[in-house]
Chain A
Amino acid sequence: MQQPQQPQLHSQPQPLASTPTPTPTQPASGPLPAWRAKPRPPLVRHRGDKVLAGVAAGLAAHLGLPVGWVRVAFVASSIPFGAGVVVYIFLWATMREEGSAATLSGMPSASSAVGATVVSSTSAPAAGADPGAGPGAIPSTVGSGVTGSSSVSPHPHHGIDLAGLRSWLRNSNQAVVITLLGVAALVAAAALWLGSAGFDVHAEVVVPVVAIVIGAIFFWSQLDDSSPLGGRRPVRWIWLVVGLGFTLLGLVALLVRGTNITEVWQVLGAVLAALVGISVLCAPWILRLWTNLREEQTARIRATERADIAAHLHDSVLQTLALIQRQSTDSATVARLARAQERQLRSYLYDEDSRAGTLGAALTAAMGEVEDLQGVPVQLVVTGDRPMDQHLDALVKAVREATWNAVRHASPPVSAYVEVGPDAVEAFVRDHGAGFDLDAVPDDRAGVRESIIGRMERHGGTARIRRRADGTEVELRLPVGDPDTATPTPATTPTPTAAPPPTSPATTETTPPPTSVTEPQEQPS
């Protein structure tokens, strides 16, 4: 009995969502299983299945309720005093849209949706988008009140830059202000209507309540303190103060209702005293709760990091050490394993992934490959860096080939030096062996000719092979274009200095050229 009940509990929202309300947006059954599998999806407005702004769908997903129910609830609660509308607008102003790049399409639909909500709340849930099309005098007054508020929103930006407007709305509290204007207009309209309809409207009750609500909105708007870019924006204390002030005023006005004006101060004092007393009592608790929360957060972050590092060490270092123990007799294999592991650990420690797509990263990878295959260490030094292109790719391949030759035919140490200059990339691969004779070794010559010299020349570069007394050095040079592209990321190289060099020597022409300055130093030798 227990077993079949479990899946039924899980699948409960599914049939409910599809059956009761024939709302026009039932394609919602597509995303439904996705949110059902998760414990609780974040409270975001849905882009896909929306009638107006997607608030109801988002709320339904968040609460795990059928979207139809939520819509019916919104409509039903709008009938008495427009409460549903207020809640809807408040949620629209504070809920973020699903996905972050949805700024362009989000804004116009949302603003028109405000007008549309009013219509649907007073008349029917039909999706009449035009506020003026609402039947009768009542909806038109209410509708004009709210559309007035929504037409305020494009005003500062003149309605062109919708993305900017959206971020402006999300970043600042302008949305709250606009919402409040809407609420005030709505309440005024409702009061007028109720008054004209013969109901006795107690202004001295309604106004304080509205003030309290406005204060609460101000106050709570600071709860959602994360910016749309993912960071946290600072809590604006001014809004907290304004909200607190509104609430206080509302409370006092509510309490002094119908009493003498001299008692205002007494009531105000009493309210203040009560608030201060409560906050003094609560402060230590809140403080402790806060510090506990922070401690717990940091501890959790540390634990996660530790687990990550442990997992990495286990996968890499421990495995390699086990391999080394098993093959401890074969010193060449041990050296190769140790070297490969060192490289891997280094790239993990120094986060070389952040350099991905640059010449430096490509060279490191190529040299690592040679080391792994040949078991001979290669010392690689790279100065400067720039993003990869097809010519640099050819250079990397030529460097790899030269290193491969050096490792195979010469003796270590093998070193490779690549210098990224403003107008050329130069590479030097040097070994200390007897060197290979270009004429004596035809096979090597073919390899060298094709994959080093030929390749470089095809890409507009040059290659030179120098035989030295104690080894060979391959020099590669590849001219590169405008130095502006030589700044892949400002973090990798101090490249602000890369652009001006042609001009900087000209600024001090009185000083002799640099080479002549250093000459006297060499004379004593």
Chain B
Amino acid sequence: MTDPRTIRIVIVDDHHMFRTGVRSELTSLAGSAGLSSPATFRLEIVGEAGAVESATQVITAEKPDVVLLDVHLPGGNGHGGADVIRACAGLESQAGVPVRFLALSVSDAAEDVIAVIRAGARGYVTKTISAEELLTAIGRVADGDAVFSPRLAGFVLDAFGAAAGEVAEIDEELDRLSAREREVMRLIARGYQYKEVAKELFISVKTVETHVSSVLRKLQLSSRHELTAWALGRRLL
């Protein structure tokens, strides 16, 4: 992580204004090398798209490291961002690792989150996120880690019944969180950054990332029926 590498990203959003805004924010931030934490990498925006079909084309052609993906997109089978992820399944970036997707949306609706995370996105942040946080999130997703917003963490706690006290007995159990995963999720829901979580629990940032990735895997693979029922019933994170 010490050598300044280049992360190539594609921005997919059907609002031209938003694409322009994100592009200018990210370039100005990543361009200024004096920044402390996020600027451990260089950022190159290699493409933009505004619909499912064009996004699939651009991503296949450019093979970026990270795709910033809006949840709601025109075209495809009507599932927006999830359709893009499915169409690009198995695609590898120029560096030879899978293309990673970071979902970005104004919507906090649970069914949107569920759909795009279960399709394979590595994280979910809302569009009101600050540019620095977004940059950090991009770096994290490029490394293959998961990015959870506080809302997503709250959603996970709720959907897995962890808020009600359910805890997995074995780590491998897909339908529940382990005690430590629950702790991590609670701290993220409380607004803690990863490094703050690490400090609070006396573990390394890498371990926090491992826990979060494990939760993401459970979120994607779990067949827990409440996951969907909850999403449909509650609508909001």
How far in angstroms is the closest Cβ of chain A from B141? 20
User: A417 contacts the other chain (Cβ, under 8 Å)?
Assistant: yes
Question: A interface, by DSSP: helix, strand, loop or mixed?
Answer: mixed
Partner of A525, one of B154, B163, B204, B235: B204
User: A428 contacts the other chain (Cβ, under 8 Å)?
Assistant: yes
Cβ-defined contact, A515 with B150, below 8 A: no
Partner of A494, one of B108, B158, B191, B235: B158
Residues of A within 8 A of B16 (CB): none
Known A-B contacts A430-B190, A494-B230, A497-B226; the reply to A381 vs B179 at CB < 8 A is no
Looking at A383, A419, A502, A518, which has the most chain B CB atoms within 10 Å of its CB?
A383
Residues of A within 8 A of B226 (CB): 494, 497
Cβ-defined contact, B190 with A415, below 8 A: yes
User: B34 contacts the other chain (Cβ, under 8 Å)?
Assistant: no
Residues of A within 8 A of B95 (CB): none
User: B207 contacts the other chain (Cβ, under 8 Å)?
Assistant: yes
Q: Mark B180-195, 1 if CB is under 8 A from A, else 0.
A: 1100001001111000
Write the chain A residue with the least CB distance to B205.
A525
Cβ-defined contact, A419 with B169, below 8 A: no
Partner of B191, one of A350, A430, A508: A430
- Would you list which residues of chain B between 196 and 234 have a CB under 8 Å from chain A? 196, 203-204, 206-207, 210-211, 226, 229-230, 233-234
- Would you list which residues of chain B between 100 and 159 have a CB under 8 Å from chain A? 108-109, 128, 150-151, 153-155, 157-159
Cβ-defined contact, B186 with A490, below 8 A: no
Q: Mark A424-456, 1 if CB is under 8 A from B, else 0.
A: 000010100000000000000000000000000
- Would you list which residues of chain B between 158 and 179 have a CB under 8 Å from chain A? 158-159, 161, 163-171, 178-179
Residues of B within 8 A of A177 (CB): none
User: B22 contacts the other chain (Cβ, under 8 Å)?
Assistant: no
Cβ-defined contact, A522 with B207, below 8 A: yes
Cβ-defined contact, A381 with B150, below 8 A: yes
Cβ-defined contact, A504 with B190, below 8 A: no
Cβ-defined contact, B229 with A417, below 8 A: no
Known A-B contacts A493-B234, A517-B178; the reply to A428 vs B190 at CB < 8 A is yes
How many residues of chain B get a CB closer than 8 Å to chain A's CBs?
45
Write the chain A residue with the least CB distance to B200.
A468
How far in angstroms is the closest Cβ of chain A from B136? 13
Cβ-defined contact, B168 with A514, below 8 A: yes
- Would you list which residues of chain A between 486 and 506 have a CB under 8 Å from chain B? 490-495, 497-498, 501-502, 504-505
Write the chain B residue with the least CB distance to A486.
B164
Q: How far is the CA of A420 from the CA of B163 in the complex (A)?
A: 7
Cβ-defined contact, A494 with B161, below 8 A: yes
Q: How far is the CA of A45 from the CA of B234 in the complex (A)?
A: 41
User: A139 contacts the other chain (Cβ, under 8 Å)?
Assistant: no
Residues of A within 8 A of B186 (CB): 417, 419
Residues of A within 8 A of B207 (CB): 521-522, 524-525
How far in angstroms is the closest Cβ of chain B from A182? 49
Cβ-defined contact, A521 with B164, below 8 A: no
Q: How far is the CA of A339 from the CA of B197 in the complex (A)?
A: 28
User: B88 contacts the other chain (Cβ, under 8 Å)?
Assistant: no
User: A260 contacts the other chain (Cβ, under 8 Å)?
Assistant: no
Q: How far is the CA of A505 from the CA of B169 in the complex (A)?
A: 8
Residues of A within 8 A of B58 (CB): none
Residues of B within 8 A of A522 (CB): 180, 203, 207
Cβ-defined contact, B154 with A514, below 8 A: no
Cβ-defined contact, B169 with A417, below 8 A: no
Residues of B within 8 A of A353 (CB): none
Cβ-defined contact, A417 with B164, below 8 A: no
Write the chain A residue with the least CB distance to B152.
A381
Write the chain A residue with the least CB distance to B225.
A494
Residues of B within 8 A of A502 (CB): 165
Cβ-defined contact, A511 with B169, below 8 A: yes
Partner of A497, one of B151, B164, B180, B204: B164
Cβ-defined contact, B180 with A419, below 8 A: no
Cβ-defined contact, A381 with B164, below 8 A: no
Partner of A379, one of B155, B171, B191: B191
Known A-B contacts A350-B109, A352-B236, A518-B179; the reply to A382 vs B169 at CB < 8 A is no
Known: A413-B191, A493-B234, A525-B207. 19 other contacts (CB 8 A): A352-B236, A379-B151, A381-B189, A383-B155, A383-B163, A384-B164, A417-B186, A417-B189, A417-B190, A419-B163, A421-B163, A473-B190, A490-B233, A491-B233, A491-B234, A493-B230, A497-B226, A518-B180, A525-B203
| Sample (9) of A-B pairs whose CB atoms are under 8 Å apart | A350-B236, A415-B190, A417-B191, A419-B189, A493-B234, A494-B159, A494-B164, A505-B169, A525-B204
Residues of B bordering A, CB below 8 Å: 108-109, 128, 150-151, 153-155, 157-159, 161, 163-171, 178-181, 186, 189-192, 196, 203-204, 206-207, 210-211, 226, 229-230, 233-237
Residues of A bordering B, CB below 8 Å: 346, 350-352, 377, 379, 381-384, 413-415, 417, 419-422, 428, 430, 470, 473, 490-495, 497-498, 501-502, 504-505, 508, 511, 514-515, 517-518, 521-522, 524-525
